[in-house]
Structure 1
Amino acid sequence: MRQSGRGAEVASQAYGIGTLFLLLSLTILLLPTRCGAAAPTRNVLLLISDNQNAADCGCYGIVQTPNLDRLAADGVRFQHAFATTASCGPSRAVIYTGLQTHANGQYGHGHGYHTFRLKPKVTTIFQRMQQAGYRTALLGKQHVTPAEAYPFDFDPRISGRDVVGLAEAAETFIRESGDQPFFLTIGYSDPHPTSREGDGWGIVREDPRLERLDYDPDEINVPAYLPDAPEVRKGLAGYYQQISRMDQGVGRVLTILDELGHADDTLVIFTSDHGSSEPGAMANHYEPGIRVPFIVRKPGLAGGRECNGLMTLADIVPTVLDWTGQKIPAELHGRSLLPILGTPDPEGWDEVCLTHVCHEVTMYYPMRTIRTRRYKLIWNIAWRLEFPHPIDTLERATWNGVLQRGDTHCGRRSVDQLMFRDEYELYDLEQDPDEIHNLAGVPKHREIRQQLAERLERFCRETDDPWLLRHDFPGDDFGRHDRRK
């Protein structure tokens, strides 16, 4: 029955009030971030050293790094972390995109005349974080291109060697972020060599705010990939000195997190872009070039742990996205590390694939590599070329000392091996950790080399490696281009 008069008016008012109440209730439910049930803030601090080998901090072996040691004691230390390419600019592109070099487009350095840059449709972690409502900053060494792919809300120009200035800028950025979540990356320039002349390492400019730690060249254990010569020992002493300075900068930033109340809501990651810039390291896929330190401190997770899973720097973007509650795009080449942080020996983390194209524009030497717990297979696509050592290697004392003395070896590897490579290199890392004896053409290793080649080829095809448009993996003839036959 239809109502009329005063009854209809009362009913209409009651309906309107009920509707308004329902709308208000729905609004409250749909806005949890502005009410008492707000989701906890999740920030990110990414710390990247420059040209640092995996073993070169206290918690991994040598060098005095009490602050990194404290971070490891509170977090998880990865024992098998790898840069996918041992070149600064390309490696940072991998770190910031989650895509390996052959896919992201930055095949070499982007600065100066090199002009390499990300492909137009590649999205960086800085873009993703801004879209998710985060404030972003990349302090210190940037080495990124193009600029439009790297949006920063805070961008003061500070030297990557000014570790105190970097910490002060980090504090300003975090304070200015207020209640807005932040994604902060600090790129240290240590322990990258300080010059191209002489040994090239060591603190050039003193900072009275920091303690200078000196290392005695005579007491240093020279790693097997380097010659035991006076200039090498002197260079290592300066290199260690720079690492200890950088460590003090890390300590200051961690203290700032504590003081500003963000230690319990910030995921902290420390790593290096790749290993040393010495011969056999930078621009190579040998262990000294690709093995890096990697530490993760996750709030709420008990520290002092180790993880033996094999991972790469392409895993950083998925890890950050996972931590901040964002979807991980299927096209990325890495995986989130969060599920394995509490697992010493995670299943399914037993191999990594790596790709390199060049260092600088004149140093083309594309490589594709698969590394398991025991074996490594390297495909030197341009094997006919003489290996193009980076400028960082060519113009400093270690390599020049080898040449001037007429040495046949640089460390355990022969000069001939460094300069002229076989198309395929297969190493048994358990029996030959220094990667001296190439087993690719040895008949008894036929099965393992074929298995590794098939898995590496599958990875390249699944990730649309453009080099496969011109170059082919072998069938069973791995010794077809062995220079020493």
Structure 2
Amino acid sequence: MIPTRILLSLLFAALAHLAAAADKPNIILFVSDDHGMDALGCYGNPVIKTPNMDRLAEEGVRFTQAYCTSASCAASRSVILTGKFGHGTGSYGHTHDYHHFSTFADQKSLPVLLEEEGYHTARIGKYHLAPESVYRFNTTLQADPRSTIEMATACKDVINQDKPFFLYFCPDDPHRGHPFKPDPWDAPNSFGNTPGGYPGEKVVEYDPADVIVPPFLPDTKECREEMAQYYQSVSRIDQGLGKLQKLLKKAGKTDNTIIIYISDNGIAFPGAKTTVYEPGIKLPCIVKDPRSPKQGLVNNAMISWADLTPTLLDFAGADFDADAFHGRSFKKILNKKNPKGWNEIYASHIFHEITMYYPMRVVREGNYKLIWNVAYRQPYPFASDLWAASTWQGIHRAEKEYFGNRKVSDYLFRAEFELYDLSKDPNELNNLALDDKHADLLTKMQDKIKAFQIETRDPWQIIWGNESQVQGTGVNL
């Protein structure tokens, strides 16, 4: 028989654990698929209808310089849920189908860490991660990932439970829809839109003449028609976000649920997705912490998706080793407009599809940005959906010199180093690395990339000085 004092001790410990769990905020991480900063009202687009995203920004914090670290779905999502760059975890590219990339089995992901903190973890929609043992959730919910209202409705039981919950909510929108190759070639992609819409959806259509074509894209009939479809898909995401918020309110959970809205990478057009140019990696990030007394703030700190896992653990009140992550928590600077020490980010891309080997490393410090194209001798590879897009084919078939504001030849064939001053050249067209006057700046930025690679155990750091000829020397970093 167990002594009474031990039973009481166990009881008090259990009650203390339950009390601590009750004080923990619920967390919803809403990750859209291929949504750039170009298509949200709260980020300055006067045409797109995103009332729920806009309201979230009015009630929370809108980041202006938030970056994914790789503009590719699976690689980006691995960073979101580990707090580590993909080159350090084996998450080099896509996990699904014939690509087969997989995170190292010894990694510990955000849902696993939050489960240890007493959270019930649930996911719905796009997963695109492997292995399951690393990215383990307590509950996997089922719904059409294009029907965000159906997805939100499926989350009702998770929201209504007594335990604190972490909900990873990932629609397929506004990713391009299947089939990627249109027939005829100049037909716009559907971006998941369907005639009549999905259950509960209020279809919001856009006139191609009204859309705002970003400068990196061609202002053509094909591009405008695809942008209109893209906008419609974004408006469907917004309705799902609104449904989630209604369910939270009905459950009495609004005041204790943190909502973070982000995208995995930029818009699914050439010049954005799969690239490390600004349209590919600079993304929307809206954080609403209802416990904060301040609302409607703008935060200009440079953050990256490597910062998300430590930040969410911080929100959860977890006791964690900050040195275990490549990123850092931005919880303490959430309500500051221009916090000091947040003016530098890094990016690391290796693959999109398995056939698209094109490693790139990036550092941005203040207004200066350096891209190292490790495999610069190769032509820049196309994702299958971007190559087939009528927006690209319209330029390719007509043999046009320019795609948007960039020469087609410059898009396909990159210099080894691209150095830009974004304050003067926001479209990244004037490569300062080709000008000897900026040699010292180039060296400084190269040194930053080298230090970053060593710190994050990047295997590609060995390429420096070897002109890509040394392949695997067994060097112990």
Query: TM (normalized to structure 1)?
Result: 0.89
1:130 Cα deviation (Å)? 1.8
Deviation at 1:275? Answer: 0.2
The offset of 1:446, in angstroms, is: 1.9
The equivalent residue for 2:24 is 41
Greater displacement, 125-134 / 412-421: 125-134
Give yes or no for contact 1:276–1:289 (8 Å, CA) kept in 2. yes
Alignment check: 8 A CA contact 1:353 1:369 kept = yes
Matched, 1:130 2:115: yes
- Give CA deviations for 1:244-269 in whole Å, capped at 9, x if unaligned: 11100000001111111111221110
1:327 aligns with 2:312: no
**Match of residue 64, structure 1, among 26, 30, 49:** 49
Q: Quickly say closer, same or farther: Cα 1:293–1:473, change in 2 above 3 A.
A: farther
> Residues 77, 383 of structure 1: CA spacing in aligned structure 2 closer, same or farther, 3 A cutoff?
same
Q: Hey, what does 1:315 align to over in structure 2?
A: 307
Q: Is 1:199 paired with 2:182? A: no
Partners of 2:166 and 2:310 in 1: CA distance: 14
Structure 2 counterpart of 1:200, which letter? Answer: N
Q: Does 1:280 align with 2:271?
A: yes
Letter in 1 for 2:318: Q
Deviations 1:137-189 (A, max 9, x none): 110111111122122222133221111211111112222xx221111011011
Contact 1:356 1:367 survives alignment (8 Å): yes
Q: Which amino acid aligns with 2:91?
A: Q
The answer to whether residue 109 in structure 2 is matched with residue 119 in structure 1 is no
Partner of 1:160: 145
User: Equivalents in 1 of 2:271, 2:20: separation in Å?
Assistant: 54
Q: Which has the larger radius of gyration?
A: 1
* Structure 2 residue 404 is matched with structure 1 residue 406: no
Matched residues, number: 453
Kindly report which structure 2 residues correspond to 1:414-433, keeping only aligned pairs within 5 A, or say none: 414-433=407-426
Q: 2:71 aligns with which of 86, 107, 129?
A: 86
Report the 3-state secondary structure (helix = DSSP H, G, I; strand = E; otherwise coil) of the residue aligned with 1:454. helix
**Shift of the alpha carbon at 1:33?**
2.3
Report the Cα distance in structure 2 between the residues aligned to 1:34 and 1:100, rounded to whole angstroms. 33
Counterpart code for 2:189: G
Instruction: Establish whether residue 454 from structure 1 lines up as the match of residue 447 from structure 2.
Output: yes
Amino acid at match of 1:434: N
Structure 1 residues 452, 209: closer, same or farther in 2, change over 3 A?
same
2:361 corresponds to which letter in structure 1? R
Residue 78 of structure 2: SS of its match in structure 1?
Answer: helix
Task: Indicate how the Cα distance of structure 1 residues 447 and 469 shifts in structure 2: closer, same or farther if over 3 A, else same.
Answer: closer
- For 1:234, which of 225, 231, 243 is the aligned residue? 225
| Unmatched runs of 5 consecutive residues or more in structure 1 | 1-18, 475-485
Q: Which amino acid in structure 2 is aligned with residue 60 of structure 1?
A: Y
Deviation at 1:283, TM superposition (A): 1.0
Question: Hey, what's the Cα distance between the residues in 2 that align with 1:328 and 1:160?
Answer: 33
User: Counterparts of 1:271 and 1:25 in 2: how far apart (Å)?
Assistant: 45
Q: Is 1:466 matched up with 2:456?
A: no
**Counterpart AA for 2:73:** C
Q: Which runs of 5+ in 2 are unaligned?
A: 468-477
Give the Cα–Cα distance (whole angstroms) in 2 for the partners of residues 204 and 222 of structure 1: 23
**1:260 matched residue in structure 2:** 251
- In structure 1, how many angstroms separate the alpha carbons of the residues matched to 2:60 and 2:190? 30
Instruction: State the alpha-carbon separation in 1 of the partners of residues 8 and 320 from structure 2.
Output: 32
CA distance in structure 1 between the partners assigned to 2:455 and 2:412 by the alignment:
31
Q: 1:453 to 1:341 in 2, by over 3 A?
A: same
| In structure 1, C-alpha distance between the alignment counterparts of 2:10 and 2:132, rounded to whole Å | 39
**Aligned residue number for residue 162 of structure 2:** 179
Match of 2:432 in 1: 439
Deviations 1:336-377 (A, max 9, x none): 121011100000000101100010000000000001231110
Shift of 1:303: 1.2
Shift in CA distance, 366/38, structure 1 to aligned 2, threshold 3 Å:
closer
Deviation at 1:131? 2.1
* Cα distance, 1:445 vs structure 2: 1.4
Change (3 A) 1:215 1:28: same
- The alpha carbon displacement at 1:24 in A equals 8.6
RMSD (Å) for aligned C-alpha atoms: 2.0
Name the CA shift for 1:39/1:260 in 2 (closer, same or farther; >3 Å): closer
